[in-house]
Structure 1
Amino acid sequence: MTYDLSPRPLNPAFKTPPIIWPNGAKSALFIGFDVDAETAWIGNNPSNVDRMVTTSHGGYDARVGITKILQLMEELALKATFFVPGWTALAHPAVCEPILKAGHEIGHHGYLHKMPDREKMDESFEEIDRGFEALEKALGVRPIGYRAPSGENFPELLAYLAKAGIRYSSSFRDDILPYRHQLADGKPGVVEIPVNFAFDDWNFGMSSRTSPRALFGREAVLPLWVDEFEATHAWGGVTTLVLHPQVSGRPMRWHILRDFLRHVQAKGDVWIATGAEITEHFEQLERDMGA
């Protein structure tokens, strides 16, 4: 494959329209959980399937993490979006079904959590198709939202997502407001609800024997989240969380997340919404501007 390295914006997305959040809110909060389970450990490294202690990191989702996260959402009366790989839904239907029953949104997160790769285009498209099929089979849903496994994307995949009926993505890191992608042919693509890397709990709370990293506790994580949220709130943006039950479902980290969400709720002027709700609001703003 040849690479076009000519100077140009590498994401030719449309400019964000003026955003007015509902109900007089000053900013928005999007609570997103990536329910990777074991796929976080086997999707990009299939040999880990025979390393039971390694995959037990992901096994925590089904044994403890998902249930504890659902309890937290119920306690705080919040709705979230759970991005579920198709493999996870098939392997652990008994703990994924309560997500739906509690009224949360299910999003697409690939099938086996393989990182999208332009040099393996057919395989990347297959991940989308198999993910849809598995979620429909296990949970009876066809999601409208997508979060890229391992957080990667490429132009042809963006077009494939739009063709498949995906209405929004939450993967890119280049804005604090939603925007609409522009496809390679110039046509509108999906809405993007961008991510702030500071709110990815994996960075602070996950390590392993094969790739050891330092872990960070309350004194490092909670002030960072609060400060980043406060600044985003002041700028009128959307604070997008990238959380994992196998991280934030752990006892100490569960309490960090609860305290952060309580801080946001106490502001009183933050619209806490699912990805579908934010997308519907954005699309309505677009229609209003067109009128």
Structure 2
Amino acid sequence: MTTVCLTFDFDALSIWLSTFKQTSPTPFSRGEFAANVGLPRVLEVLQRCEVDATFFVPAHTARSFPELTRLIVEQGHEVACHGLVHESPVGLALEEERQSLAASIEVLTEVTGVRPVGYRSPAWDLSQDTIKVLEEHGLIYDSSLMAYDYKTYYARIGDIVTEERFTPGCDSTILEFPVAWELDDYPYFQFTPRPLYQGLRLPEDVYKAWSAEFDCAHSESGVFTLTCHPEIIGRGPRIKMLEQLIKYMQTHENVVFSTMGHVATTLRANHQNNGVSL
């Protein structure tokens, strides 16, 4: 069985405010596009194709667009943590990281009525404390690391890396859904002058890359994780390409589409009950 996890980082204005530090009207309008155009188009495609997805939502987005954030859940999808204002956990003090995650969980729970169970770092990078902090706050999965391509695994705590050797730490209780730049719409499509991202690939080129990745995942009965952003994938030709990709994956036997929360809950239960290796 191959599992497809479609994921969308609904950053809206937060990525420009926090990560890029571009606070003039034009960058902010890109964030508005995510809410006004991109997200509705994404939801329409998911509804037409009858598939569920996971949306990683910063607290800033949930506060700014509460009705849209609630709509995600009302349509059967999952909302998971993505920072307060799209901030990187790298460099945060332990207590600051704890407070940030706790506040993020509180806001998403208040807006959607559902407590999140997963996390994705806005930086696709973690501090030495992040996995421990996720455990402390009762989350069950992360999607920020890259140790495998189509295989979930338990993130570790306490790795030691020196110039002499790498010594892995101990498995945590946090199930990891690996990410990859090859399976992210950002490097293919995004163009910004500061910092320079050149992107602007043709949708048909990206379709070839993503469908080939899916074929490999399907041959291994793995988990295919795709990362998209409403302000990027939501452009007209690109959203059509995404729908084409979904329909292509649906033509294959033994393929299911699921939220990460559902997959994590199921795999963790199987692992605990049967000692299944993930």
Provide the TM-score with structure 2 as the length reference: 0.89
Question: Deviations 1:90-124 (Å, cap 9, x if unpaired)?
Answer: 00112212111101111111110011113544443
Q: Which moved more, 1:86-95 or 1:181-190?
A: 181-190
Corresponding residue for residue 267 of structure 2: 282
Gaps of 5+ in 2: 159-168
Find out whether 1:161 has 2:146 as its counterpart: no
Corresponding residue for residue 66 of structure 2: 93
User: RMSD between aligned alpha carbons?
Assistant: 1.7
Asked if 1 retains the 8 angstrom alpha-carbon contact of 2:184 and 2:227, the reply is yes
Aligned residues: 264
CA distance, structure 1, for counterparts of residue 173 and residue 253 of structure 2: 33
CA distance, structure 2, for counterparts of residue 204 and residue 187 of structure 1: 33
Asked if 2 retains the 8 angstrom alpha-carbon contact of 1:159 and 1:189, the reply is no
CA distance, structure 2, for counterparts of residue 241 and residue 290 of structure 1: 28
CA distance, structure 2, for counterparts of residue 86 and residue 212 of structure 1: 26
CA distance, structure 1, for counterparts of residue 74 and residue 269 of structure 2: 28
CA distance, structure 2, for counterparts of residue 111 and residue 141 of structure 1: 17
Task: Pick from 158, 170, 177 the counterpart of residue 151 of structure 2.
Answer: 177
Corresponding residue for residue 80 of structure 1: 53
CA distance, structure 1, for counterparts of residue 65 and residue 92 of structure 2: 31
Find out whether 1:36 has 2:11 as its counterpart: yes
1:158: Cα distance to partner? Answer: 0.8
Asked if 1 retains the 8 angstrom alpha-carbon contact of 2:7 and 2:53, the reply is yes
CA distance, structure 2, for counterparts of residue 90 and residue 41 of structure 1: 16
CA distance, structure 2, for counterparts of residue 255 and residue 37 of structure 1: 21
CA distance, structure 2, for counterparts of residue 286 and residue 266 of structure 1: 30
Corresponding residue for residue 56 of structure 1: 29
Asked if 2 retains the 8 angstrom alpha-carbon contact of 1:65 and 1:246, the reply is yes
Task: Pick from 203, 216, 223 the counterpart of residue 187 of structure 2.
Answer: 203
Corresponding residue for residue 3 of structure 1: none
Q: Secondary structure at the match of 1:283?
A: helix
Task: Pick from 234, 239, 262 the counterpart of residue 249 of structure 1.
Answer: 234
Asked if 1 retains the 8 angstrom alpha-carbon contact of 2:70 and 2:112, the reply is yes
Q: Summarize the Cα distance change of 1:289–1:98 in structure 2 as closer, same or farther, 3 Å threshold.
A: same
CA distance, structure 1, for counterparts of residue 133 and residue 197 of structure 2: 36
1:155: Cα distance to partner? Answer: 2.7
CA distance, structure 2, for counterparts of residue 177 and residue 203 of structure 1: 23
Q: Summarize the Cα distance change of 1:202–1:259 in structure 2 as closer, same or farther, 3 Å threshold.
A: same
Asked if 2 retains the 8 angstrom alpha-carbon contact of 1:84 and 1:109, the reply is yes
Find out whether 1:236 has 2:221 as its counterpart: yes
Q: Secondary structure at the match of 2:251?
A: helix
Q: Secondary structure at the match of 1:165?
A: coil
Q: Secondary structure at the match of 1:172?
A: coil
Q: Summarize the Cα distance change of 1:163–1:58 in structure 2 as closer, same or farther, 3 Å threshold.
A: same
Q: Which moved more, 1:237-246 or 1:281-290?
A: 281-290
Task: Pick from 191, 202, 205 the counterpart of residue 220 of structure 1.
Answer: 205
Q: Summarize the Cα distance change of 1:186–1:228 in structure 2 as closer, same or farther, 3 Å threshold.
A: closer
Instruction: Tell me the percent identity.
Output: 27
Q: Secondary structure at the match of 1:106?
A: strand
Corresponding residue for residue 163 of structure 2: none
CA distance, structure 2, for counterparts of residue 141 and residue 166 of structure 1: 13
Asked if 2 retains the 8 angstrom alpha-carbon contact of 1:114 and 1:127, the reply is no
CA distance, structure 2, for counterparts of residue 270 and residue 187 of structure 1: 28
Equivalent residue letter for 2:178: P
CA distance, structure 2, for counterparts of residue 138 and residue 290 of structure 1: 37
Question: Deviations 1:139-162 (Å, cap 9, x if unpaired)?
Answer: 222200111112111231110111
Q: Summarize the Cα distance change of 1:269–1:114 in structure 2 as closer, same or farther, 3 Å threshold.
A: same
